Amino acid sequence: MKFAGLVKQSLVDYPGEVTAVLFTRGCNIRCPFCQNTHLLLRSPRVSEPVLTMEEVVEFLEERHGFLDAVTVTGGEPTLYEELPAALAVFKELGYLVKLDTNGTNPTMLQQLIERGSLDYVAMDIKAPLDYRKYLRSCGKLTTEEFFNVRSSIRLLMEAPIKVEFRTTVVPVLHPPEEIEEIARYIQGASLYSLQQFNPSATLDTDYGAVVPYTRQEMQELADRCAPYVPTIRVVNI
Ligand code: SF4
């Protein structure tokens, strides 16, 4: 397995733990507000770095005692058939493992949970669980992928690991009542994060002109969600 990048140490990507963050290249959807546009295509340009699994393992072996966890993010990591084997190696090295996903591959998610390869999953929920709305937030999405997202939510609601659902909140895509609708859909989940949209460097340049919700408005969204999920985390830019 190859990775597109590495943050050697992060205090914010795995709550309560010090984590390395590995980026994978390639994504099956095209959220217009995406900030990781350099990671959307699977093939790197000549100038872009590629980290081999051997290099990553060597780094993790050196950092024993300094790092608690490995977070794998993208792009969309579950596009890689080699991901389960890579996560198993990270577990064997003694690390907690977190996966960030858009939820379109519930088959791999289930396999990873059953094998004990995951301690934490953070899954994006892009919109209320209505195909038309979800498609608008994803830019492109097959109906199969949409039903896969629903399956991943159901799977994670029952999973014996830490789970975070999260939404990047974009005012033109997410009126307050739709954020509340998402929270109602995941009623019973333990954590829902509302991440403030950042208009700098978006995939669809029109989104550069979209004004994010204010901190006050983000807090009001959190208050609307509070009856459904016990912990609502607001991540402001
Ligand atoms: S799921 Fe959306 S936001 Fe995440 S990498 Fe893919 S296009 Fe970007």
Q: What pLDDT is attached to residue 46?
A: 65
Q: What is the C-alpha to C-alpha distance for residues 21 and 5, in angstroms, rounded to an integer?
A: 8
Q: What are phi and psi of 156, to 5 degrees?
A: -70, -30
pLDDT at 70 over 90: yes
Q: What pLDDT is attached to residue 237?
A: 81
Question: How many angstroms is it from 27 CA to the middle of ligand 1?
Answer: 6
Closest-lying ligand 1 atom to the alpha carbon of residue 30: 7
Dump pLDDT digits (tens) for 146-185.
999 999 999 999 999 999 999 999 999 999 999 999 999 9
Characterize the bridge pairing of strands 2-3 and 51-52. Answer: antiparallel
Residues having CB within 6 Å of any atom of ligand 1: 27, 29-31, 34, 36, 74-76, 102
Q: How long is the chain? A: 237
> 117 Cβ partners below 8 Å, 6+ apart?
84, 87, 88, 91, 97
Q: At what angle do helices 176-185 and 215-225 cross, to 10 degrees?
A: 40
The CATH number of whichever domain residue 151 belongs to comes to 3.20.20.70
pLDDT at 24 over 70: yes
Q: What is the C-alpha to C-alpha distance for residues 22 and 70, in angstroms, rounded to an integer?
A: 7
Instruction: From 21, 24, 25, 27, give the residue whose CB has the most ligand 1 atoms within 8 Å, as the site to mutate.
Output: 27
What average pLDDT does the segment 78-85 reach? Answer: 98
By mean pLDDT, which of 58-62, 66-70, 109-113, 197-201 is the weakest? 197-201
Question: How many angstroms is it from 94 CA to the middle of ligand 1?
Answer: 29
Protein residue closest via CA to atom 5 of ligand 1: 75
Closest-lying ligand 1 atom to the alpha carbon of residue 168: 3
Question: How many angstroms is it from 34 CA to the middle of ligand 1?
Answer: 5
pLDDT at 118 over 70: yes
Our count of domains for the chain comes to 1
pLDDT at 114 over 80: yes
Question: How many angstroms is it from 205 CA to the middle of ligand 1?
Answer: 15
Give the mean pLDDT of the chain. Answer: 96
Residue 166, domain extent: 2-235
For residue 179, give Cα distances in angstroms to 82, 89, 144, 168. Answer: 34, 37, 23, 10
What average pLDDT does the segment 16-45 reach? Answer: 92
Higher per-residue pLDDT: 49 or 15? 15
Q: What pLDDT is attached to residue 43?
A: 80
Question: How many angstroms is it from 31 CA to the middle of ligand 1?
Answer: 5
> 12 Cβ partners below 8 Å, 6+ apart?
none
Protein residue closest via CA to atom 8 of ligand 1: 34
